[in-house]
Amino acid sequence: MDRIGNDGTYAVPLGFGRAVSMWTVAYVCRLPAVMAPPWLVLSALLAAVVWWGMSAGRWTGDGLGAGARTGFVAAILNMLILGSLLTSSSAGAVTPSALLWVPGSVLAIAGLAAISSEIGARRPIAGAGRNWTGLFAKVAMLATFLLVVAGGLVTSNEAGLAVVDWPNTFGYNMFLYPLSRMTGGIFYEHAHRLFGALVGLTTIGLAIRLWRRDERGWVQRLATIAVGLVVIQGVLGGLRVTGGFTLSTSEADMAPSIALAVTHGVLGQVFLGFVVALVVVTATAWIEAPAAEPRASAEGDRTLQVSLIATLVVQLVLGAFQRHMAQGLIVHISLAAVVVMIAVVAGARAWGLYHGVWPVQHLGQLLMAGVAVQVTLGIAALAVTQGRAVVGAPSTLEVTIATAHQATGALMLALSVALMLWTRRLFEPV
C-alpha cells in the first residue's frame, strides 16, 4: 500500500483527481441550461486547482514539490480539452496562439498548485499516511459515475446522434473540435466523448498502478477486465453512431444502431460496478481487516446479494429498452417490484444482522435509501413521460428526472456490488 512520502508515488493519483475535478467544473458550467459566465468558470477552475494543491500539501507534507508534480499531471490531461480552445473553426488547425497557451497553461496550473500545496504543507494531517492506490480508485469511480450521468444526459436530450461521425467529430480530430461549435445536442454528445477518453485514461492508469504495486493476482486480473471493458465501451459508443468502422463524415454512410445504444448504456453501468469493486478491494479497511468470521447468516446473505446484482442488471437492460425504444414498460415495472423486494430484504438484513460492522451495516442503510429514491424517481419519470419515448425537445423536468433515475439505478448496482464484496470479505458460512 502506498503511503505518505516524498518519492512522488502520489503524483499520478492526485493529478488525475485534480483533472477530474476541473473537467467536472467545466462540464457543469458549460451545460446549455447553465452557461455560467467566463469569470465564474475561471474562478471555479482555480478553486479546484487550489483545493487539490492544499490537500496535496497536507496529505504528503511535501509543499512545492507535491504541488508542481500533481499540477503538471493535471495540466497534461487537460490538453485533451484545451485543443478545443486553440483550434481554428474554419480548418480545424491549431492556431499560433497554442505556442503560448499550451506551455502557459501547464506552467500556470503547476505554479498555482505548487503555491497552494506549500501553504497546505504547513498544516499536515497527522496519521499513518494515505493509501494512494485507494485514492486513485476513488478518482476512477467518480470519473466513471460522472460519465454515466453525462451519458444519461445524452439519452435524455435525444442527442445520441447529434455528432454524425466517429472517431472524428464532424471531420475534426475529436480533441480539436472548436468550443464555439459545442452547442445544444452537440455539446452533450461531444462532451460525453471527451469524458469517455478521460475515464479510459484513468482506468488504464489505475490498472498500471495495480499491475505494478498490488501483489494480489486476482486484483490485477480485475484491473485487466476493467481495462477491457472500458475499451469495448468506447468502441461500442462509436459504432452506435456509425454502425461500422469508417472515417466518413456523411450521414448517408452511417447506420446508427439502437441495439448498440442499449448495450452501450447498460455496459457503462456494469463497468461502474467493476470500478466500485476496485475501490472496495484497494481500501485500507479491506486490506487490514481480520480474517473472515464464521456466521450462520453469511451463506444466505451471499445468495441474496448475488441475486440482487443479477436482477438489477436485467432491470437496467429493460430500463435501457424503455429509454431508447419505449418498449418493455410493463415488464420493467413488474421487475421493479421484485428488485425493490430483494433490495429491501438485503438492505434490512445487512443493517439489522450486522450491527456495528461498519461497511456492511452502512451499505445496507444506503441501499434501502437508494430504493426509496429510485422508486420515487421511477414514479415521477412515469408521470412526466407517460411511458412514451421522449420525442422532440424534452423539457428540463423530463431530462432531470430521467437522468436522475438512470444514475440512481447505477448507484444501486454499485452499492449492491460493494455490499456483496464486503459480506464475503468479513464473514464466511458456518
- The tens digit of pLDDT for each residue in 219-246 reads 999 999 999 999 999 999 888 888 878 7
Phi, psi at residue 185, to the nearest 5°? -65, -30
Q: With residue 371 as reference, give the H or E element that holds it.
A: helix 358-385
C-alpha span between 305 and 189 (Å, rounded): 35
Nearest to 323, CA basis, from 104, 155, 126, 97 = 155
The SS3 assignment for 101 reads: helix
Q: Tell me the β-bridge partners of 94.
A: 87
C-alpha span between 136 and 124 (Å, rounded): 20
Nearest to 144, CA basis, from 29, 240, 229 = 229
C-alpha span between 207 and 302 (Å, rounded): 27
C-alpha span between 409 and 30 (Å, rounded): 25
C-alpha span between 61 and 122 (Å, rounded): 8
Kindly list the distances between the CA atom of residue 166 and the CA atoms of 126, 147, 236, 265, 272, in Å, as whole numbers in the listed order. Answer: 49, 18, 11, 17, 24
Helix intervals (H) in 157-295 = 184-213, 217-242, 258-281, 284-288
Counting as low any pLDDT under 70, the low residues of the chain are 1-8, 88-99, 101, 126-129, 386-392
Here the cell at position 204 is 488504464
Q: How far apart are the first and last CA of the chain?
A: 31
Domain ranges in the chain are 1-129, 131-288, 291-430
Residue type, 304: L
Here the cell at position 84 is 478545443
C-alpha span between 160 and 324 (Å, rounded): 10
Distant-in-sequence, close-in-space partners of 412: CB < 8 Å, separation ≥ 6? 312, 343, 367, 370, 371, 374
Instruction: Provide the 8-state DSSP code for 428.
Output: E
Q: Quick count: other Cβ atoms within 10 Å of Cβ 120?
A: 26
C-alpha span between 8 and 6 (Å, rounded): 6
